[in-house]
Amino acid sequence: MASAGGHWIELCRLEAAFRQWDCQFVSTAGNMAAPLGTRPVLQIKDSSRDNYITMLRSMTQLLRVIRDFRPDLVVSTGAAPGAIALLIGKAIGARTIWIDSIANSEELSLSGRAVRWVADLRLTQWPDLADDRNGISYFGQVL
């Protein structure tokens, strides 16, 4: 799950890690091509913490997608809809991974901080932001 733009590009660059799995890609942008597999990319409504109506729509759409696909793992590169996806994924028993955008070089994103309790693995793309005490790891950069 990734929002449009840089978040989506970062997720697509991780496609080698997903080759062995049956993946369902989800984005806030329409007409996207999945980086692998035969499933179409599902589009959901974009949302932010500033608009509870769109956030509720995103949550409802993600609930349907995750309920129907029943993933073992939910991965997101952001933004707010990705945090919602991790929350729903965790609720159905999936493992969850949050990869904070490379754009967040000063501090972890708000969504990255919000998923602290639901992400099994939280990654930053900046070594200076890694913090073992707070469960933030650095494995390298996607871009």
Is the pLDDT at 143 greater than 90? The verdict is no
CB 125 within 8 A of CB 138: yes
Backbone angles phi, psi at 75, to 5 degrees: -120, 135
Those residues whose C-beta lies under 8 Å from the C-beta of residue 138, and which sit 6 or more positions away, are 123, 124, 125, 126, 127, 129, 130
Those residues whose C-beta lies under 8 Å from the C-beta of residue 48, and which sit 6 or more positions away, are 54, 55, 79, 80
- CB atoms near residue 51 (< 10 Å): 13
Nearest to 29 by CA among 10, 2, 49: 2
CA distance 130 to 18: 24
pLDDT in tens, 76-126: 999 999 999 999 999 999 999 999 999 999 999 999 999 999 999 999 999
What are the residue boundaries of the structural domains of the chain, listed by start?
6-138
- CB atoms near residue 64 (< 10 Å): 13
Angle, CA of 91, 96 and 102, to the nearest 5°: 135
Type of residue numbered 131: D
Q: Give the distance from CA 90 to its chain's centroid.
A: 12
CA atoms 128, 79, 88, 24: torsion sign: negative
What per-residue confidence (pLDDT) applies to 49?
85
pTM for this structure? 0.95
Say which CATH superfamily domain 6-138 falls into: Glycogen Phosphorylase B; (3.40.50.2000)
Please report which confidence band the pLDDT of residue 27 belongs to, taking 50, 70 and 90 as the band edges: very high
